[in-house]
Structure 1
């Protein structure tokens, strides 16, 4: 898995089998994280939602990413002395348009994840499942989120509600009411996760992230900017919905920073306000769209992704969810390290595809029906 933050590649080595209840059983064996080389990360960020680039640049990036994914899987296997039978590769999202727009006389949605799967299969000698999102888009879904199948398989509970909150570049969560079946599961993107925080930290401090939320903790939230930002139409839109750099990328970050500078010249205040936007939009999304579905049950609110390591963000999220029956925890305490979760999800989706089983949850993506996801590239 490589997410919208474009910071690198996460590899999860998992063992999957059929369970007695008809759902897969998944066990994490090992996981590794590999930062992108600086030149590759620059190329990825330049290509994401780019207003102009070249076909040669995109073709080269697609194949270069394939080499990077193959190397990551190879090294992970060698370090843990394991041999995979199948690879699920999400690829690097360069563009994701979840809703229909007019182009060349037709309206349609579209998505593109780069990383040449045929090259990965050839390099590793292992079949590869890739290109997961288009099948869901083709039947009216948003192509996201796709992680909810893993959330349901691992975390459903008979008496407690479970919320699986991922804070990557974009923030998304899966809400599973107690005793739920898959179609009771609700999941959607709530808005920016680390994306805006990282963009401002890079611009203002030449750092790739606000480690542990220290910068945000030293600043003050600019209330008028936060209030105005929360009026963005995406936050009020009912699910299903998904977001990416198209909504909250470089153009959004530039305007957000300009709005902050009209009131405060302190860089830390801008980062603090971006952090407050992430925590507030997450909490409001849960309260507005999901809390009632829990039926008054106690809720384990389980956080994963890079945002789980941002102490300021986690403190704010806990404060904003007070009074809603939520117990905040990180996913590590439930036996699935935060950095491994999304990679494990696409391993599960690859297993589903290999066995010709659907991988999307229409209740999460808005698709008209369950479909088999992805394409297989043979070694």
Structure 2
């Protein structure tokens, strides 16, 4: 028995007959398949008398070759006839890809699809927020159902465990603000105003904003990955089956932890940034470290601190809501976990920056500029 399939061509009266030999199976048909694809001459018939065995792949190759050449299949065994008939019935003449529309039609259609998807996404997020508020109401009526241990665990994960990285980031940001601000103010002989710049910028904007971005990248992604994995392994469905609300057990502790810890983390970040600025001022501007810190109390208005503290819990809510929502949307396969985690981080950071811009306008309008 031949190990590999092959074919010969018999010519007679201007009519070519392709005679195949050997097994036409997935393990042996690769070479003859390439030869048949490259065969350009006309063919009258395809002879299968010398075929030892055939499977679905071999039948599909023969059917495709005979159809393309408008040739007749002859001397086929009963098995070959059944397989060829089966693959011929399942064959599709539809194009592998739909025709590409013109740009004038394609662009509006894609924009419309994005707008519709955005509308559905907003509706879904609002519904998710409504479910959280409803669960809060249930817990207020039944305090015994609140999972205090889960909240403490999330407070540790969101807050305590992130103190190191947030502190380092804030210290470096304070150094950058003071150093770059001093370099510009030095041109006007106003290096002393580096204290004003560092204090107000850290307390009002960058301290809380950079903390929110760090929490979104660290805790928001963790929320999405954890909840997404639980969705894939059907743990969320199992909780519902035994009468445990996933919203109360999984979502609310994470949301509360982010909302409660963000003001504390934001305040910590602001203080460390000011210390970083004082450190640079002491080294490069000859402003004593303690003088820098005492001067902060005189030149930075108290409402700058309140601006940061008011924004912090809102940023925490947005980050937690984004992470939990994307995690609960996971379905299908493990690739969705990575995709939803990425979307949680991107959406969280985007919404934080957008809200920060709205807060800037709002506080300017009420005189806290």
Structure with the larger RCO, 1 or 2 (CA within 8 Å, 6+ apart): 1
Give the TM-score taking structure 2 as reference length.
0.22
The structure in which a higher percent of residues are strand is: 1
The structure in which a higher percent of residues are helix is: 2
Give the TM-score taking structure 1 as reference length.
0.22
